[in-house]
Structure 1
């Protein structure tokens, strides 16, 4: 970036960065900082800026502690209280061109960690292809998803809903079309997309939905988890107890206490945001919103032989791949349609198509920091171009080039990078259950 760029928006004047081909606005608060009495309260819209807001530096992240010392996706933690912020990458302004579609990206991290400031979410390839890209931060872990008495449930989802409102109200100033917003995310971010799509509160806030390696992660914390967490922290497992602990200390304790449990905190059903479980909500809401969803072939396990890959009892199938036909079945009668994909390219580093390794392809960012460590030194650029083009096309018009899925055996899907096949191939049955003993796939 070589200079600054000033934009007048309904939220106030915002000063960002200007480069040769794009504009970038970082760390824009969409809500008041969730500190003090606001820490365990519903988000409050940020007051209009009375002075130009400096959006030239990344905003604070809710993540204080990463999931592990080394993560596949580079996930920087940035200190500060204003964690409810977003960033916008947009084309340069030229006269009065037609408004562009908008991609709102939600990061992963098990609802416990992750960072919207990752270089893997850079929007330059989307901007190049006529899309305004927005990344969003929201509350995580106990602060965002612990079911506590006297605390509104699903605070992290409430943050995202408010962020979408901000985008609808302000994105036109950046060249975006508020009526063409696609919400997308990966892993926990993909699960958040499914939750928003299944929620009556999501209606009218976005026009398209993309779920990469997400699932129905709305079971609530394991029995006794909050009590064990309180014991670890030496406080009661209540709003008052956790309010007395800094977020970093709470996040470290969550990671210590969760043990082998992959998912300990996330969306919970039973409030106004998620009145019913996500799977049931998908059958009732969001039928006017096209959905693109899929998973990697191996996610968290990378067996070296085809027989092992088809085992069907693995974490990959239970948490991630099974969500694809289940979502398609729930939306069988949705006029807007559902489309499936499967990412099959085996990284020479992991030996399989592992969790997160599809992200640099969908973002067309094979030159991003950390990519060689995850994908090796020569990932196929042609595959990235094709996958990115499919996602861009979906954001533009919401109608992929392959057949719709309905949750039945033999559903159509698009395969990316399967060894021995074309880089991109349309096929059927990729998400069929191992033993297809009924029309609708087993959960």
Structure 2
């Protein structure tokens, strides 16, 4: 990399140039960190390339400005009021399959690499979210990469004549780009760790299960997402048919390709609302349980079975994994919306029974662990376990059989927002893991002055894992060792065992 001086109206900074396979990039240097943003790793997925596998990225002559984030993929806004808690940008343009790189200024090679795959239920999100800024990973000697990938119908709708799981194919294309180019930024392509949160973590677990992704990374981090989420081809076909009917088009590439993107976004959102109003498993299959109309599907080619089944058979047992969840995941979805307040004892028993549990025993176990909780809070705790915590445990258990190095954590710091009722909600750990508590876009989630000590401890563990393949506490095994991140961070064994056991043989 070569460095020169440049000046803008608002600040003085250095520019830095790097040569990659497509041409020369011009990034910027701030506080001894070089950043390069909006780098295309594949061609724009529009026109003839829409609903197709990612195509080769563009080349250019001269220097390409890489000082600003690139376009985001088409996506709807988060529903209110979650959009205020998890703000994210929308940036117009065609080069949506882009990524961003942060690296120590002057890095010459051999550094570990962390590639972040964002969450958002496979319909929202972007690598340009400010909380994902990788400067502090670079400060600590890690090359950090964040990516975009296609979402919603463009990324995951099952269509005849089009490859399935296009969003996952995008992720693989981005990882292949990293293999070919990251050395130019000082990174070591043999020391890549992939990580993600929520749908990003589900993506990471899926990549762990895929032969097509073998060799693209040596370690993985999954935050609040595991290997239980993939549609059957039958369910995916039902979603396709329902969306086509709503739009009044043929369920084909040509039919959906003729729909203006804003209209398609509106139809996706309306379909999701319809499913939420009447979550009938006989009509919607797996979607009735997880409320994600668009996600990877078992197409028989790229994905042949649920990721958890592949892990149970030993897939990626040679890849170290750091996995975990937040104590109060589901408060994000149930407290701001008022749903938690509407749950009574009858609803609690019905929903727990519908999830396969012995409802009476389940309520008793959760009430014993949370004696002062309302029915709604017990419901939130049970859903957190069913959707997030227990699948993460099953992932660790499956890998332990094969001697795979797996480390488990729990993020437990309680946000003061919503009168303290959000607690350690879904996605709230990200700013701590990235050590970005000064990000103004976190205020609605964390409130003012979140504890920097928790970020120091958690971020250090992430850096340690990316660098060495171990975060600093024992692997998950018979003792069920878990590192808890809070103002009194500690190592515990088998937390909330009685609630975990409720789901044995069920989840």
Structure 2 Cα separation of the partners of residues 2 and 232 of structure 1? 51
Shift of 1:34: 0.6
Match status 1:226 vs 2:240: yes
Question: Could you say which residue in structure 2 is the equivalent of 1:361?
Answer: 432
1:427 paired residue among 483, 492, 496: 492
Question: Could you say which residue in structure 2 is the equivalent of 1:298?
Answer: 328
Structure 1 Cα separation of the partners of residues 53 and 322 of structure 2? 30
Question: Could you say which residue in structure 1 is the equivalent of 2:350?
Answer: none
SS state at 1:195 partner: helix
Alpha-carbon contact 1:67-1:112 (below 8 Å) kept: no
SS state at 1:275 partner: coil
Shift of 1:441: 6.5
1:66 paired residue among 77, 85, 89: 77
Question: Could you say which residue in structure 1 is the equivalent of 2:415?
Answer: 347
Once the two structures are superposed, what CA deviation does each residue of 1:366-406 show, in whole Å capped at 9, x if it has no partner?
A: 11022221111121110110000011100000112222124
Match status 1:217 vs 2:286: no
SS state at 1:13 partner: strand
1:411 paired residue among 462, 467, 480: 480
Match status 1:251 vs 2:320: no
2:405 paired residue among 337, 354, 362: 337
Higher alpha-carbon deviation: 186-195 or 253-262: 253-262
Shift of 1:212: 0.4
Structure 1 Cα separation of the partners of residues 31 and 430 of structure 2? 25
Structure 2 Cα separation of the partners of residues 293 and 435 of structure 1? 16
SS state at 1:162 partner: helix
- Rg (Cα) greater in structure: 2
Shift of 1:223: 7.5
Uncovered stretches (5+) of structure 1, i.e. residues with no partner: none
Match status 1:371 vs 2:371: no
Question: Could you say which residue in structure 2 is the equivalent of 1:26?
Answer: 37
Match status 1:265 vs 2:294: yes
SS state at 2:85 partner: coil
Question: Could you say which residue in structure 2 is the equivalent of 1:201?
Answer: 212
Distance 1:83 1:349, change over 3 A: same
Alpha-carbon contact 2:159-2:240 (below 8 Å) kept: no
Question: Could you say which residue in structure 2 is the equivalent of 1:387?
Answer: 458
Alpha-carbon contact 1:74-1:120 (below 8 Å) kept: no
SS state at 2:440 partner: coil
Once the two structures are superposed, what CA deviation does each residue of 1:246-303 show, in whole Å capped at 9, x if it has no partner?
A: 3332122111111126211101113332121111122231111101111111112368
Shift of 1:3: 3.2
Structure 2 length-normalised TM: 0.81
Shift of 1:224: 3.7
Structure 1 length-normalised TM: 0.92
Structure 2 Cα separation of the partners of residues 185 and 441 of structure 1? 27
Structure 2 Cα separation of the partners of residues 287 and 100 of structure 1? 24
- Give the aligned CA root-mean-square deviation in angstroms: 2.2
Map 1:106-145 → 2, pairs under 5 A: 106-145=117-156
Distance 1:49 1:430, change over 3 A: farther
Structure 1 Cα separation of the partners of residues 138 and 400 of structure 2? 33
Distance 1:354 1:312, change over 3 A: closer
Question: Could you say which residue in structure 2 is the equivalent of 1:398?
Answer: 469
Structure 2 Cα separation of the partners of residues 162 and 143 of structure 1? 16
Uncovered stretches (5+) of structure 2, i.e. residues with no partner: 1-11, 277-287, 342-366
Match status 1:184 vs 2:195: yes
SS state at 2:388 partner: helix
Distance 1:156 1:437, change over 3 A: closer
Match status 1:285 vs 2:315: yes
Higher alpha-carbon deviation: 379-388 or 52-61: 52-61
Distance 1:282 1:50, change over 3 A: farther
Structure 1 Cα separation of the partners of residues 229 and 459 of structure 2? 26
Once the two structures are superposed, what CA deviation does each residue of 1:62-89 show, in whole Å capped at 9, x if it has no partner?
A: 1432222424232101111111110101
Distance 1:49 1:281, change over 3 A: farther
Distance 1:279 1:62, change over 3 A: same
Tell me the number of residue pairs that the alignment of Structure 1 and Structure 2 aligns: 434
Once the two structures are superposed, what CA deviation does each residue of 1:343-386 show, in whole Å capped at 9, x if it has no partner?
A: 11111104211111111111111110222211111211101100
1:317 paired residue among 354, 362, 385: 385
Shift of 1:2: 1.4
Alpha-carbon contact 1:90-1:175 (below 8 Å) kept: yes
